[in-house]
Amino acid sequence: MINRPDPRQHRKPDWPIETIFIDRWSPRAMSGEALSARELSTLFEAARWAPSTYNEQEWRFLYAHRDTEHWQSFFDLLVEGNRVWCHNAAVLVVVLSHKVFSRNGKPNPVHTFDAGAAFENLALQGAAMGLVVHGMAGFDRAKARQTLKVADDFDIEAMIAIGRPGDPARLPSELREIEVPSGRKKVEEIAREGPFAF
Ligand SMILES: Cc1cc2nc3c(=O)[nH]c(=O)nc-3n(C[C@H](O)[C@H](O)[C@H](O)COP(=O)(O)O)c2cc1C
């Protein structure tokens, strides 16, 4: 029997919020099963509806399904610490953002902020579908730019591993131990009325 942690057992919000925020977390245990093109489109559909400055929609997603021609080149971008669990992902995604406004070519100061919003939409949709969606900073950005032929006016933001939940018992022991939904700072630690006081 697979014993997966239940986020609602580990996380108790201090204030009333929708359960989807608690249910979304970043497991590493994945089954290795494939994701359908429809499921992936649904995830990108959720990302698509994120807010952005002037409705720029700066986010772009490059992806590779497991066992396809592009998989290995995406997988090879990851640091070893992410490879050890990502080999069971169904899809690997590289998130890009357009650094300049499409209408005038001027620098867009919030392109990363907007791409992050799109990622979170995708992650929440994935959680609602019972999927693993795990963001990653641990990969080679220069290699990603070169291998995936990313244009200069796009930043490489992050990678995402997506898959079906798997058995934590099959993770390496050091990852098995931390396969637990994490807690958060208190609201008072992250939000203050008035000027900077952290
Ligand atoms: C942009 C970003 C980069 C991350 N990079 C990695 C990573 O390289 N490897 C990893 O195992 N987890 C990575 N994580 C997962 C975070 O550690 C995780 O989101 C954080 O501990 C909060 O836990 P939760 O997502 O389960 O709520 C990343 C998450 C984000 C959003």
Bridge-based pairing state of the strands 91-98 and 132-136: unpaired
| pLDDT the model gives residue 65 | 98
User: Is residue 68 classed as helix, strand or coil in its secondary structure?
Assistant: coil
User: Is residue 2 classed as helix, strand or coil in its secondary structure?
Assistant: coil
Distance CA 49, CA 55 (A): 10
Distance CA 6, CA 8 (A): 5
Cβ atoms of 71 and 65 within 8 Å: the answer is: yes
| pLDDT the model gives residue 43 | 99
| pLDDT the model gives residue 25 | 98
CATH of domain 20-164: 3.40.109.10
Pocket test for ligand 1, best of 30, 134, 180 (most atoms within 8 A of CB): 134
As a dihedral over the C-alpha atoms of residue 157, residue 178, residue 17, residue 6, rounded to 10 degrees, the angle is: 130
| pLDDT the model gives residue 2 | 85
| pLDDT the model gives residue 150 | 98
| pLDDT the model gives residue 79 | 98
Question: Which tokens belong to 74?
Answer: 């995406």
The set of residues, in sequence order, having a beta carbon less than 8 Å from that of 137 and lying 6+ positions away, is 158, 159
| pLDDT the model gives residue 1 | 79
| pLDDT the model gives residue 70 | 98
- Residue located nearest, by CA, to atom 9 of ligand 1: 136
Burial of residue 106 (number of CB atoms within 10 Å: 0-12, 13-18, 19+): exposed
| pLDDT the model gives residue 99 | 98
Please work out whether the CB of residue 178 comes within 6 Å of at least one atom of ligand 1: no
Cβ atoms of 27 and 183 within 8 Å: the answer is: no
Pocket test for ligand 1, best of 92, 120, 131, 136 (most atoms within 8 A of CB): 136
Q: What is the mean pLDDT of each run of 10 residues along the chain (198 residues)?
A: 92 98 98 98 99 98 98 98 98 98 97 98 98 98 98 98 98 97 98 96
Distance CA 93, CA 43 (A): 11
